[in-house]
Structure 1
């Protein structure tokens, strides 16, 4: 594979008022689109052809940040994104996540090679630890022979440019990861109007990350399930605009169809952040129901725990999860 061009802030931005804005990737020179394409929902597209169309339309519209993960749908999401990036790798800032969940550097490097193969590239722009959600995850990451040693080796080899970590359960675990001292380039977390009132990543983690020059990657702008939108308490557009108005580098949005992509593109084009009065108005809409996590179940429930993580930590699986069902089918030899 041929090493691809890397987009930087030296590249001219489209000379139109409705272009999708780009922001600096933390302390680096790279510029990334304020809207990112989520890898998990890409695997929810009805067909690989629709997934490829979604990737192409996003790139053509000016989106250059693409999220993924080694374990999403047992590799399907990476495979589908890789097929969508054929001939277009040089136009994107490509991220995927490693899923050791406390296991060692050798496994992480094996997963990296698998991810590179699926994605059809010789390097990642960003490699992140997936799902730092258990109290002992920071200790395991920093342990001798842990995943952080894989980060150092991957960067030295040129297969990875930047590194970071993700999680959705508790901001205190994020702070533990950061304050132990590894020079992460990015951190990914749920950011939405609900979050400000319960175990708030916005209030606790974002300031710490910004102080250290880390890129802030938002996710779950509608609370994961979107139930707060379905119940009419706030609109999906208000949630996305809220997250985009925070001091984020990009907001990664789950889009399982081209129709959803187009709705989000309409919001992102020419985006200008809200002022504090508008931000407060949206927070106030959900304040009454935001204090106990009922609409942020990823903070209080095992529903969002990836099966790989639960197995490693000796926790039982949720047999209703789609990925768990697919895992059992694969192990049984089913198609």
Structure 2
């Protein structure tokens, strides 16, 4: 079974560097594919309240037979549950659906600056950690200004920041800010979307030279930079093949060639500074 390296948080805990994401996976499907993923060797599962599949993830965890303490589960508080009391109530709902009395990592899913409640929500995460309901706390999709604000206001630094990251959109300025604070960088949509990235000649040539797949090359690039990465697939073969990327080592020259693919217009998803959902 493939062993995934652990990456340390600044709070003394750690996270499996490659996990299994379940965005856009229906609840019943999640119950099946998450169990497959755990069977394949994944120990880090990333879900969110808005995904609507926390119950399915919980069923898969229960059915897997793997002790809860050997698994790392992330969930996220949604925009409509921002606020101190609202977020704490949302956590109770998530824990009930997941069938666990704690999660390993709880994130604010989006800052949503126009709503203006991310700071009180962050204070709720701090309180949930104090109560032992969550092990570690972090954020997702925070613009630099809001990330700096919650740190300055509370003195509590997120352990991780989950944002869109792939070779066409590498988030270099944000990563520099995270590094200054000791925040881990976590990539969502790590393989891009629509297949363009996986068909890029730079990626395909490295894959051919390595005798591996383009997806494994891209995932190995994330891992080489020290990012935590959460690829999603519901295809059994790809669930296994994505996990095997942890055994692929790219040379410095190969990493540099992929680094050169960064684009100014490479963003696929919404800009966190301007969301209204």
State if a TM-score over 0.5 links the two structures: yes
- Is 2:257 aligned against 1:281? yes
State which of 104, 113, 125 in structure 1 corresponds to 2:92.
113
Q: Are residues 150 and 244 of structure 1, via their aligned partners in 2, closer, same or farther at CA, if it must alter by over 3 Å?
A: same
> In 2, distance between residues paired with 1:257 and 1:97?
25
Q: Are residues 31 and 160 of structure 1, via their aligned partners in 2, closer, same or farther at CA, if it must alter by over 3 Å?
A: closer
Number of the residue aligned with 2:135: 161
> In 1, distance between residues paired with 2:225 and 2:54?
28
Query: Does structure 2 conserve the Cα–Cα contact (< 8 Å) formed by 1:65 and 1:92?
Result: yes
Query: Does structure 1 conserve the Cα–Cα contact (< 8 Å) formed by 2:141 and 2:272?
Result: no
> In 2, distance between residues paired with 1:114 and 1:79?
10
> In 1, distance between residues paired with 2:140 and 2:99?
23
State which of 39, 60, 72 in structure 2 corresponds to 1:84.
60
3-state SS of the aligned residue for 1:161?
A: strand
* Structure 2 unaligned regions, length at least 5: 204-213
> In 2, distance between residues paired with 1:245 and 1:292?
23
Q: Are residues 96 and 301 of structure 1, via their aligned partners in 2, closer, same or farther at CA, if it must alter by over 3 Å?
A: closer
- Is 2:27 aligned against 1:58? no
TM superposition shift of 1:178 = 4.6
3-state SS of the aligned residue for 1:79?
A: helix
- Is 2:93 aligned against 1:141? no
User: Structure 1 length normalisation: TM-score?
Assistant: 0.68
Number of the residue aligned with 1:298: 269
Query: Does structure 1 conserve the Cα–Cα contact (< 8 Å) formed by 2:216 and 2:248?
Result: no
> In 1, distance between residues paired with 2:251 and 2:219?
14
TM superposition shift of 1:299 = 4.2
Count of aligned residue pairs for this structure pair: 263
TM superposition shift of 1:135 = 3.9
> In 1, distance between residues paired with 2:11 and 2:272?
35
Q: 1:178-327 residue pairs with structure 2 within 5 A?
A: 178=151, 180=153, 181-196=155-170, 201=171, 203-229=172-198, 234=203, 235-248=214-227, 250-268=228-246, 270-272=247-249, 274-284=250-260, 286-287=261-262, 290-293=263-266, 296-299=267-270, 310=277
Query: Does structure 1 conserve the Cα–Cα contact (< 8 Å) formed by 2:178 and 2:185?
Result: yes
TM superposition shift of 1:214 = 2.5
Q: Are residues 186 and 102 of structure 1, via their aligned partners in 2, closer, same or farther at CA, if it must alter by over 3 Å?
A: same
> In 2, distance between residues paired with 1:112 and 1:36?
21
User: Structure 2 length normalisation: TM-score?
Assistant: 0.81
> In 1, distance between residues paired with 2:104 and 2:192?
27
> In 1, distance between residues paired with 2:145 and 2:216?
29
The superposition leaves residues 94-134 of structure 1 with CA deviations (integer Å, 9 ceiling, x where unpaired) of 110011457311111111111001100011111110022x4
Q: Are residues 253 and 148 of structure 1, via their aligned partners in 2, closer, same or farther at CA, if it must alter by over 3 Å?
A: same
3-state SS of the aligned residue for 1:183?
A: coil
> In 2, distance between residues paired with 1:178 and 1:93?
25
> In 2, distance between residues paired with 1:231 and 1:176?
38
3-state SS of the aligned residue for 1:298?
A: coil
- Is 2:72 aligned against 1:93? yes
Q: Are residues 103 and 35 of structure 1, via their aligned partners in 2, closer, same or farther at CA, if it must alter by over 3 Å?
A: closer
Structure of higher CA gyration radius: 1
- Is 2:105 aligned against 1:122? no
> In 1, distance between residues paired with 2:233 and 2:49?
18
